[in-house]
Amino acid sequence: MIPALQQWLPFLLFAFVAAITPGPTNLLIFSNSARHGWRAALPIILGGCVGAALMVLLVGCGVGELLVRLPQVQGVMAAAGVLWLTWLAWQIWNSPLKGLEGGEPTRRMGLFDALSLQLVNPKNWTVGLAVIGVYAGHGDDRLLRVQLMALLFFLVGVPCLLAWAGLGAGSARLLRSPHALQRMNRGLALILLVSAWAGVLA
């Protein structure tokens, strides 16, 4: 039987903090909405939230424990995640002024990109293992709880990431000069690059 709502409050708070605090997905949403408007960030938001929910579901079904037993796979995932984030940071850094001024269109990150980014990041799987271990329990209703946790992760994540899209779109209105917006994008690119390599170099 599903516990009362107050028993889910700690998990809801955790999901909120995980979704609202700055991370690679949040920075990408901010940057894309600053460049193209908040609607352009909707596929990234959907992909990020679906990816996070899917990860919780997969960890709850035992995939996370399998990855823990296969350090080689973890290494490949870590390398893929770092390289992907590095490439994304490079793309943000080199965003042309023409694209910022509304002339030449640039490639936008999409749903699949954001979803894949969630799944190749080994840190996300580690967090997923901790979440399942703390909140899923071991009773007969464990699978139901895991499914509900995945759904809640999605529902909490959407408004949090929408807030980041709103911040990005708002910053574009404040930074009316294409050069100012480019400087902001390059700052975001550096932050994204540091966040990608910090775990590797630590």
pLDDT of 187 higher than 60: yes
Give me the pLDDT at residue 201, please.
Answer: 60
Candidate ranges 86-90, 114-118, 149-153, 176-180; pick with highest mean pLDDT: 149-153
Task: Give the span between the Cα atoms of 69 and 73, in whole angstroms.
Answer: 9
Give me the pLDDT at residue 150, please.
Answer: 93
36-40, 96-100, 122-126, 155-159: least confidently modelled range: 96-100
Q: Has residue 93 been placed in a domain?
A: no
Q: Has residue 163 been placed in a domain?
A: yes
Task: Give the span between the Cα atoms of 180 and 185, in whole angstroms.
Answer: 9
Confidence of residue 104 (pLDDT cuts 50, 70, 90): very low
30-44, 73-87, 125-139: least confidently modelled range: 73-87
Domain that holds residue 146: 24-75+118-175
Confidence of residue 143 (pLDDT cuts 50, 70, 90): confident
Q: Has residue 134 been placed in a domain?
A: yes
pLDDT of 103 higher than 70: no
Task: Give the span between the Cα atoms of 32 and 53, in whole angstroms.
Answer: 22
Task: Give the span between the Cα atoms of 127 and 59, in whole angstroms.
Answer: 10
Q: Has residue 136 been placed in a domain?
A: yes
Total domains present in the chain = 1
pLDDT of 54 higher than 80: yes
CA distances to 26, 119, 122, 134 from 46, rounded to whole Å, are: 12, 14, 20, 26
Q: Has residue 156 been placed in a domain?
A: yes
Q: Has residue 9 been placed in a domain?
A: no
